[in-house]
């Protein structure tokens, strides 16, 4: 049984409703009710309809269907040119949660901030070749900022995935960038993404922890960099929407 930390019920509902009917959780049952001491014998056929399946049951149905059809990937994309055709990724990793305060321009006034989990790149995927940027930061954004029909896309020049998250928090269009060429949240700033988010008031109260997550990609770029063991590394960053995050 999963120990859920976060569940995105809207995204789960949307994904569940796209499953073929046979893949959805069965919620109906039929039976017969006999009434004793009644002549002639009387039987009443009844159909019991259970309430909608829970979010947890929907998650199980989603994972079962996509596993069966080989449409869940278990490895994070290592660069922006990954050829994965399907958009569900089930990954066990380590991550740290950051809280980003929002500005008055944020379109959802009931929210106090945005929460994002940051998972560092796997150093074993780094490349020594010039102009080949491998290794990917994963940003799991708990707030579903836009319509789920917006599709996965790759680099819009000058706008890192971290810049897109900053745009969310400040109420801008997702791919806005006022600093074309040297945006402060991408490859021209070699601080860790968590430190970069600190410049807009982001904070974390936890440690890096092991998690398991089922997520959908939204936007990936090769516009990120950071110091790894005192060496400047240009890498990729991926903005993703998790259906759930659980502890492991």
Condensed to tens digits (0 to 9), the pLDDT of residues 11-29 reads 999 999 999 999 987 555 5
Give the dihedral of Cα atoms 33, 37, 40, 44; nearest 10 deg: -10
Give 194's strand partners: none
Q: What is the pTM of this model?
A: 0.87
18: in domain: no
Residue 164 lies in a domain: yes
Query: Is residue 5 included in any domain, yes or no?
Result: no
**For residue 140, what is the enclosing H or E element?**
strand 136-141
Assigned domain for 142 exists: yes
In the block, which residue shows the tokens 């005192």? 230
pLDDT at 202: 96
Stretch among 79-93, 146-160, 209-223 having the lowest mean pLDDT:
146-160
Q: Each residue of 130-189: pLDDT tens digit?
A: 999 999 999 999 977 665 556 788 877 779 999 999 998 888 888 887 766 688 999 999
Cα 30 from Cα 33, distance rounded (Å): 10
Would you place residue 46 in the very low, low, confident or very high pLDDT band (cuts 50, 70, 90)?
low
The residue written with tokens 């998972």 in the block is 119
In a domain, 227, yes or no: yes
Contact of 164 with 230, CB cutoff 8 Å: no
Contacts for 156 with CB less than 8 Å, ≥ 6 apart: 175, 219, 221
Q: What is the mean pLDDT of residues 115-144?
A: 95
Inside any domain, residue 3? no
Instruction: Residue 110: count other Cβ atoms within 10 Å of its Cβ.
Output: 4
Q: What is the mean pLDDT of residues 78-98?
A: 90
Is 176 inside a domain boundary?
Answer: yes
State how many domains the chain has.
1
* 28, part of any domain: no
Q: What residues make up the domain containing 125? A: 72-247
């Amino acid at each position: 049984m999963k120990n859920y930390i976060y569940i995105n019920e809207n995204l789960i509902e949307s994904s569940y409703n796209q499953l073929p009917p046979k893949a959805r959780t069965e919620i109906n049952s039929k039976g017969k009710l006999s009434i004793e001491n009644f002549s002639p014998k009387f039987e009443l056929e009844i159909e019991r309809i259970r309430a909608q399946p829970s979010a947890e049951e929907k998650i199980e149905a989603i994972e079962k269907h996509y596993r069966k059809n080989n449409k869940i990937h278990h490895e994070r994309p290592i660069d922006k040119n990954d050829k994965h055709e399907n958009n569900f990724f089930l990954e066990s990793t380590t991550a740290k949660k950051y809280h980003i305060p929002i500005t008055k321009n944020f379109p959802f006034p009931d929210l106090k901030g945005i929460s994002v989990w940051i998972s560092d790149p796997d150093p074993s995927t780094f490349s020594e070749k010039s102009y080949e940027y491998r290794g990917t930061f994963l940003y799991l954004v708990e707030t579903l900022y836009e319509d789920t029909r917006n599709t996965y896309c790759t680099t819009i020049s000058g706008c890192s995935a971290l810049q897109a998250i900053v745009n969310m928090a400040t109420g801008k269009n997702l791919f806005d960038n006022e600093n074309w060429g040297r945006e402060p949240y991408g490859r021209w700033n070699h601080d860790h993404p968590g430190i970069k988010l600190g410049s807009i008031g982001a904070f974390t109260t936890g440690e890096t922890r092991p998690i398991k997550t089922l997520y959908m990609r939204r936007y990936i770029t090769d516009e990120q960099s950071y110091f790894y063991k005192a060496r400047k590394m240009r890498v990729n960053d991926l903005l993703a929407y998790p259906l759930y995050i659980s502890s492991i």
